[in-house]
Structure 1
Amino acid sequence: MTVTANGVQGMALPSEPDVTPAVLIERARAMAPALVARQRETEERTYYAEDTHLAFRDAGFYRITVPKRYGGYEFGFDTFLQIVMTLTRACPSTGWMYCLGAAHSLFAGSMFGEKAQAELFSGGDFIAPLVNAPHGTARRAADGGWILNGVWKYCSGAPYATHLIGNTMIVEDDGKPARPLLFIAPRDQWEMLDDWGWQLGLKGSGSHSIRISDGHIPSHFGLEVNFEEISVTGGTPGRDLHEHPQYGGAPASSMALEGAHIAVGMCQGALDAYTELMFSRTTILPPFPPRAEDPDFQLWYGQASSMIDAAETLVLATARRWHELSEQPIGAFTAEEDLRIALTCREATSLAWRAVDEIIQPTAGSTAVREGERLERVWRDLSTGRTHVSSAVLLTTVANRGYAQLRLQSERR
């Protein structure tokens, strides 16, 4: 049992109670140069180094959206996302791994009940990959909990994770149809497989598979719900438990925001590499001035940088919209608003990607994309990130149709 400053039992004092979001963002900026310099070793290891992990821990990065009552900062999700964008700009693999591991304290603090949260956040820091696709099976244990078996792929953040958030199917011996289970499994119930690093890009993102063999979790660590059908219009456990209204926000759009901030951060890193080339490389025609003095390169640079700036402006505004909806009375964050935010994130991502795909990469020159060059690495990481099923498939098909249907229904009224 812990005691707060006002003497109330059962609630933990937040670490560094006087720290501000601006301080955490500045800490991330200060770390960026070292992350740029260590990109190669991060890829070779397949995840960021332990001393980087410890630096993130000491900086408080794993407690940004952990609720205050459990020792977290309970800062806005937008603060977390700005730190993600900063880290990803420096090293896409590091930013991806950090984001998709640390982001989900928001989800756990929103969707699970008080008993579960008290146990899940007992360690203070919370790192949990979240795998939407259902894998494996769950069966009822004799004590009413769940027995889990299976392998969950693409668990970004697994190397330093405290938990896994996964989806599976409940199977029973009575012949009833299988039904979904969303669960959280602590680290001692699973093992990480050594199966990451052979992809084109994001080689250092720690996106290993996780295997659970007869893992046991208590019943309150499982929710019998399909992730894609989660609705917050009736409220959430977290909205009732915590002061910050963000624990009543919609999870699907929050995860789209994660992906958009990662993508924009990657493209900012590509622009950083392109900027260096503007001063270090010359044109191919006499009198061979630096690219920064050439009208054509100035044109390309201006167009690419403005597109990436516009994408950043869009994702920051969309994050504010997510917070505004969360602050409104329960019921305001509808499925239509959820999809609207997710699709806006897709457009921001597309805009930033076009700047790299259509301008930066073609005009940088072949020497800039030799193995080991920063732009080459960012290009590979962006290309791999674009294959993520959420952005490549769901946000271009199912989400479009669903949003159109909901919006047309509202227009008909």
Structure 2
Amino acid sequence: MTVTRRVPGRAPTLPPEPDLTPAEVVARAEDIGPLLVERQGETEKRTYYAVDTHTTFKNAGFYRILVPRRYGGYEFGVDTFLRVVMALARGCPSTGWMYCLGATHALQVATLFDEKAQAELFRGGDFICPATIVPSGAAERAANGDWILNGTFPYCSGSPYATHFLGHTLPSQAEGEPPAPMLFVAPREEWRRLDDWGTQLGLKGSGSHSIHFENGRIAEHLTLPGTHMSEVDVSTTPGRQLHGNPEYGGGPLSFMLLEVSALAVGMAKGALDAYENLMRNRTTLFPPIVRRAESPDFQWWYGQAAGMIATAEAAVLQAIGQWSAQSARNVAGFSREEDLRLAAICREAIRLAWHAVESHLFPTAGSSSVRQGERIERVWRDMSTMHSHAGIGVLLASTATRELAQARFGVGER
């Protein structure tokens, strides 16, 4: 991503470390990732990562990676952000997931909302904003044009340290008008987090609690009626022009799926790290009794998994590059076909990472290595739960596949 130094309309606010580079931020994540491994159990028990971890991320600049430079962010872009996500998920899948789904939506806000809204939303510099894509709750117009929101929004990953929430609701409509989603951003003081996360199979520490509104007030300029963030036409959104940066106008669906594929690769790399430790320190169960690293069978299983994970990582990194290049190339924005094509790459990367774990690493690690709380067992649980996400289990598996063909051939679903 090209950092825009010269922006129209106002002098930029400098971030805490004005000379920080993308490479330094990624290196910080790669240093932090291994420190998260031993804290996975406490993170699951707490249901979110610790305050000191949050402070470490804050001091490292992680919550400003996607925030526009003019508002005190680093504006380092999608490549840097997803490399950080991958490194954190490698150490602790729950921590990586919670960080990613909390910090990522700075990109959507900077793309979709106008200057007035962005100046208000980003004024704190650090931006942590969980989101849901399924419309929930009910919104009614206030006398001054604002919206009064009531309802509960589940699966808000990143909510424990959130500064905002990005969601969709179905506002009241005039009689005879069909319901249409409204996208909105709610400041932290307008909602409360429920204590309802941690009993799922995996991702127990991902901070994916529900958010509840009781007469929450959403200012009109923080709403986008008739908008769903996964299907918006970015050729008409203000972000690209406001910031002079094409990534604030990239394909919305494929970006969301790049997040999940980066998480999947990071998780699988963590499982491979654990398996490598077993290769170096455990012996075979059956004669000849040798170190697993010397066993042809274990060599094959490790090599298979390592190749699949490396291929998945290469696919994700290449897709990120294509996403950024397409953003820069086409001022009119992504076509639906291009968005779906990149989503298909994400689908295959997730499949490769998952099959490496469930077909090669988990079955051959040994029962003592997949007891509750062991690193490979935790990755298996977390990746299993990841597949219950509607974006992976439904959208990528079927809907997006059909839509790619429909977009290519210009036909509707029959």
1:386-405 to 2 correspondence within 5 Å? 386-405=387-406
Question: Aligned residue for 2:354?
Answer: 353
| Letter in structure 1 aligned against 2:218 | I
Tell me the alpha carbon deviations over residues 23-42 of structure 1, each in whole angstroms, 9 at most, x when there is no partner: 00111111122200100000
Q: 1:353 to 1:41 in 2, by over 3 A?
A: same
1:205-224 to 2 correspondence within 5 Å? 205-224=206-225
Tell me the alpha carbon deviations over residues 96-145 of structure 1, each in whole angstroms, 9 at most, x when there is no partner: 00000000100100000000000000100101111000001111111111
The alpha-carbon deviation at position 358 of structure 1 amounts to: 0.9
TM-score (norm 1): 0.95
Residues in 1 aligned to 2:250 and 2:109: alpha-carbon distance in whole angstroms: 12
1:81-92 to 2 correspondence within 5 Å? 81-92=82-93
- Alignment partner of 1:230 out of 207, 229, 232: 232
SS at match of 2:12: coil
Larger mean Cα displacement after TM superposition, 303-312 or 9-18: 9-18
Verify the 8 A CA contact 1:201 1:381 in the aligned structure 2: yes
SS at match of 1:100: helix
Verify the 8 A CA contact 1:68 1:74 in the aligned structure 2: yes
SS at match of 1:358: helix
Moved over 6 A (4+): 4-8
Residues in 2 aligned to 1:7 and 1:235: alpha-carbon distance in whole angstroms: 19
Question: Aligned residue for 2:250?
Answer: 249
Question: Aligned residue for 2:364?
Answer: 363
The alpha-carbon deviation at position 286 of structure 1 amounts to: 2.3
Residues in 2 aligned to 1:318 and 1:144: alpha-carbon distance in whole angstroms: 42
Residues in 1 aligned to 2:86 and 2:380: alpha-carbon distance in whole angstroms: 17
Residues in 2 aligned to 1:211 and 1:141: alpha-carbon distance in whole angstroms: 19
SS at match of 2:76: coil
Verify the 8 A CA contact 2:13 2:72 in the aligned structure 1: yes
Tell me the alpha carbon deviations over residues 295-348 of structure 1, each in whole angstroms, 9 at most, x when there is no partner: 111111111101100000000000000000110132251111001111110111
| Letter in structure 1 aligned against 2:41 | R
| Letter in structure 2 aligned against 1:229 | E
Residues in 1 aligned to 2:229 and 2:70: alpha-carbon distance in whole angstroms: 26
The alpha-carbon deviation at position 255 of structure 1 amounts to: 0.4
Verify the 8 A CA contact 1:231 1:335 in the aligned structure 2: no
Residues in 1 aligned to 2:11 and 2:172: alpha-carbon distance in whole angstroms: 37
Larger mean Cα displacement after TM superposition, 169-178 or 326-335: 169-178
SS at match of 2:151: strand
Residues in 1 aligned to 2:6 and 2:258: alpha-carbon distance in whole angstroms: 34
The alpha-carbon deviation at position 400 of structure 1 amounts to: 1.0
Tell me the alpha carbon deviations over residues 157-181 of structure 1, each in whole angstroms, 9 at most, x when there is no partner: 0000000000000114646433210
The alpha-carbon deviation at position 226 of structure 1 amounts to: 2.8
Verify the 8 A CA contact 1:248 1:326 in the aligned structure 2: yes
Q: 1:6 to 1:39 in 2, by over 3 A?
A: closer
**Structure 2 runs not aligned, ≥5 long:** none
Question: Aligned residue for 2:183?
Answer: 182
| Letter in structure 1 aligned against 2:231 | E
Instruction: Number of aligned residue pairs: give it.
Output: 406
SS at match of 2:155: coil
Q: 1:8 to 1:143 in 2, by over 3 A?
A: closer
Question: Aligned residue for 2:63?
Answer: 62
1:300-315 to 2 correspondence within 5 Å? 300-315=301-316
1:129-144 to 2 correspondence within 5 Å? 129-144=130-145
1:323-334 to 2 correspondence within 5 Å? 323-334=324-335
Matched, 1:289 2:293: no
The alpha-carbon deviation at position 70 of structure 1 amounts to: 0.2
Residues in 2 aligned to 1:155 and 1:331: alpha-carbon distance in whole angstroms: 32
Tell me the alpha carbon deviations over residues 29-61 of structure 1, each in whole angstroms, 9 at most, x when there is no partner: 111222001000000000000000000000000
The alpha-carbon deviation at position 6 of structure 1 amounts to: 11
Matched, 1:168 2:169: yes
Between the aligned residues of both structures, percent identity stands at 57
Verify the 8 A CA contact 2:233 2:333 in the aligned structure 1: no
The alpha-carbon deviation at position 5 of structure 1 amounts to: 11
Verify the 8 A CA contact 2:64 2:74 in the aligned structure 1: yes
Verify the 8 A CA contact 1:238 1:247 in the aligned structure 2: yes
Larger mean Cα displacement after TM superposition, 165-174 or 385-394: 165-174
Larger mean Cα displacement after TM superposition, 204-213 or 235-244: 235-244
Question: Aligned residue for 1:17?
Answer: 18
Verify the 8 A CA contact 1:94 1:205 in the aligned structure 2: yes
SS at match of 2:183: strand
Verify the 8 A CA contact 1:273 1:374 in the aligned structure 2: yes
Verify the 8 A CA contact 2:278 2:292 in the aligned structure 1: yes
SS at match of 1:67: coil
Verify the 8 A CA contact 1:5 1:13 in the aligned structure 2: no
Tell me the alpha carbon deviations over residues 231-274 of structure 1, each in whole angstroms, 9 at most, x when there is no partner: 22x24210011132100112111100000000010000110111
Question: Aligned residue for 1:320?
Answer: 321
Verify the 8 A CA contact 2:231 2:252 in the aligned structure 1: no
Q: 1:7 to 1:181 in 2, by over 3 A?
A: closer
Q: 1:388 to 1:142 in 2, by over 3 A?
A: same
1:74-113 to 2 correspondence within 5 Å? 74-113=75-114
**Root mean square deviation, CA, Å:** 1.7
Tell me the alpha carbon deviations over residues 61-87 of structure 1, each in whole angstroms, 9 at most, x when there is no partner: 000010000000011211000000000
